[in-house]
Structure 1
Amino acid sequence: MHAWARRIARDWPPEEVCVTDGWHLGYAGGVTFRANSAVLLDPAAARVETVERFYRERGAPPAVQVWRGMDDLDRNLAARGYTKGRAAMVMVRDIGDVGDSAALAQARVEVASRPDTRWRALWSAEGVDTRVAEGQHRIMDRVPVMGYAVETSGGARGCAAAADGWVGLYNMFTEPKVRGLGLAREIIGALLAWGRDRGAERAYLLVLEDNAAALRAYERAGFSEVDRYHYRVGEP
């Protein structure tokens, strides 16, 4: 299995996983493509019909992650009418020195083991409906070690999963009215420190290629691209 796809599946775990016919198939009630898509394991054994049957039995469109180097898979899916979408990149950085605990204690960010009402309230500001928000919380609840960072006034948030020397940042969001004040940078710093305290040495995040503002913010925070992927999605 592709190394980054494996790490993402661990840190953003589907509710149901099936490994069969050369595929790793994940399903989480249709919430987020990351947890509701197939990853190629064995090109010689893989049949697209297996993917289509798995997802259509669950009322979801068949979706496949296509990583760099999977050109044959990409062409085959395109020929079957699968549309390309949600092109994203993986960005990483060393954690290094992100400040000591005393400095973090004075910052405007709190990191807890559970999301509080301030953290949850930002779903509505982000325009995410209740069903999708609760589905994302079910995914996050399956992560063994997860930290939830929120700016003390509730203007920005993020979360992170820590495992095997890595910390993965997810669900970063800053309320539009307080953007440009450096809150995202503080959320990132707090989550990196949280991960460092749990043995992480490197951090990663995923960002859509067309999200120019987020890309600039992550580059300023020391992240750089290491891989790219997109989805091919068939008819439901």
Structure 2
Amino acid sequence: MDEVERRVAGAEEFYAVHEAVPRFQITPGVCPDGLDALLDGRGYRRHSPVSVRGAATARVLGLERTLKIRVDERPTRAWFDTWQAVNGESRAEWEMLARVDLPSVYVSALVGDDTVAVGRAVADGGWAGVFSMATLPEARGKGAARNVLSALAGWADANNADRMYLQVECGNEAAARLYERAGFAEMCVYHYRSAGPR
């Protein structure tokens, strides 16, 4: 048994102890050579490809803003409720946000007093990571996400992050179009392998 096989066996034991389905993220240049092929040979199904994209903050700043924006240092209840309305209820997500200790921002796009889209950014080492982008179904296609992204870029610029990155699920064409217009270019694609039926 080689080192990669030993690592997989150890991970499978860990998942078994926790009564969970084994799942691996396969990222080019990070994962050991042969891991993807080994998992495929063991019947792990490939799923959920994700595109990692980067852009110059100055380019993203050029997006037009047409909605009222709210900017907070911590997630508000309205921000989180909107995120949850799109992604489903998750106490773990709220708890994870409380543990973020790097400079962060939580942006909300408003129509009247209603939060219709949200996003957050975290600055680290001259980069701003964009996370938790979510738009209510009734606000999609109306520029709400564009307004959030522009405000996040403004915050990134003010916090000396001259580059931004984000992740988008392959197949999310609406988000991909927005990110392409904002100047985000693909840096790599990763996917997952999970045990169980293909």
* TM-score (normalised: structure 1): 0.72
Aligned to 1:112: 72
Structure 2: how far apart are the matches of 1:155 and 1:228? 29
1:37-80 Cα distance to aligned partner (Å, 9 max, x none): xxxxxx66852111112222223222111122556211100111
Structure 1: how far apart are the matches of 2:96 and 2:21? 19
1:175 and 2:132 equivalent?
A: no
Residue pair 1:140, 1:146 contacting (<8 A) in 2 also: no
Of 143, 159, 178 in structure 1, the residue corresponding to residue 100 of structure 2 is 143
Structure 2: how far apart are the matches of 1:121 and 1:44? 42
Structure 1 residue 124: deviation in Å? Answer: 4.6
Structure 2: how far apart are the matches of 1:147 and 1:55? 34
Aligned to 1:227: 188
1:77 and 2:57 equivalent?
A: no
The worse-fitting range, judged by mean Cα deviation, of 113-122 and 169-178 is 113-122
User: 2:107 is aligned with what amino acid?
Assistant: A
Residue pair 2:54, 2:166 contacting (<8 A) in 1 also: yes
Structure 1: how far apart are the matches of 2:46 and 2:116? 34
Unaligned runs of at least 5 residues, structure 1: 1-42
The worse-fitting range, judged by mean Cα deviation, of 223-232 and 63-72 is 63-72
Number of residue equivalences: 187
Of 83, 87, 90 in structure 1, the residue corresponding to residue 52 of structure 2 is 90
1:80-117 Cα distance to aligned partner (Å, 9 max, x none): 11111111110110102627xxx98x951111111112
Of 197, 203, 210 in structure 1, the residue corresponding to residue 171 of structure 2 is 210
* Coordinate RMSD, CA, aligned: 2.4
The worse-fitting range, judged by mean Cα deviation, of 50-59 and 222-231 is 50-59
Residue pair 2:51, 2:169 contacting (<8 A) in 1 also: yes
Aligned to 1:20: none
Residue pair 1:169, 1:203 contacting (<8 A) in 2 also: yes
Structure 2: how far apart are the matches of 1:47 and 1:183? 44
Matched position secondary structure for 2:100 = coil
Structure 1 residue 157: deviation in Å? Answer: 0.4
Residue pair 2:67, 2:144 contacting (<8 A) in 1 also: no
Closer/same/farther in 2, CA of residues 44 and 53 from structure 1, 3 Å limit: closer
Identity %: 35
Residue pair 1:55, 1:61 contacting (<8 A) in 2 also: yes
Unaligned runs of at least 5 residues, structure 2: none
Closer/same/farther in 2, CA of residues 59 and 162 from structure 1, 3 Å limit: farther
Structure 2: how far apart are the matches of 1:122 and 1:86? 24
Of 110, 118, 125 in structure 2, the residue corresponding to residue 164 of structure 1 is 125
Matched position secondary structure for 1:199 = coil
* TM-score (normalised: structure 2): 0.85
User: 1:143 is aligned with what amino acid?
Assistant: V
Closer/same/farther in 2, CA of residues 206 and 57 from structure 1, 3 Å limit: same
Matched position secondary structure for 1:213 = helix
